[in-house]
Amino acid sequence: MKKTFAIIAILISFSGFAQNHLNKLSVKEKAAGWKLLFDGVSTNGWHTYNKNTIGKAWKVEAGALCFDTTQKDGGDIVTEKSFSNFHLKLQWKVAKNANSGIIFYVNEDAKYDHPWRTGMEMQVLDNDGHPDGKIIKHRAGDLYDLVKSSSEPVKPVGEWNDAEIISDKGKLKLILNGVTVVETTLWNEAWTKLIAGSKFKNMPDFGTFKSGKISLQDHGDVVCFRNIKVKELN
Domain spans in the chain, listed from the N-terminal domain onward: 25-232
pLDDT of 112-159, one tens digit each?
999 999 999 999 999 999 999 999 999 999 999 999 999 999 999 999
β-bridge pairing 161-168 and 86-94: antiparallel
What mean pLDDT is reported for the chain? 93
- Give the integer Cα–Cα distance in Å for 143 and 155: 18
Residues 6+ apart with CB under 8 A from 17: none
The amino acid that residue 145 corresponds to is: D
pLDDT at 19: 53
Query: At residue 18, does pLDDT exceed 60?
Result: no
Are the CB atoms for 163 and 181 separated by under 8 Å?
no
Q: Average pLDDT for residues 99-104, to the nearest whole number?
A: 98
β-bridge pairing 99-106 and 213-216: antiparallel
Query: At residue 186, does pLDDT exceed 90?
Result: yes
pLDDT of 19-77, one tens digit each?
567 999 999 999 999 999 999 999 999 999 999 999 999 999 999 999 999 999 999 99
In 3D space, the residue among 176, 128, 131 whose CA is nearest the CA of residue 152 turns out to be 176
CB atoms within 10 A of CB 83: 21
pLDDT of 150-182, one tens digit each?
999 999 999 999 999 999 999 999 999 999 999
pLDDT at 15: 39
Q: Count Cβ neighbours within 10 Å for each residue of 27-43 and write b for 16 or more, e otherwise.
A: eeeeeeebebbbebeeb
Percent of all residues in the chain with a pLDDT value above 70, rounded to a whole number: 91
State in words which class domain 25-232 has: mainly beta
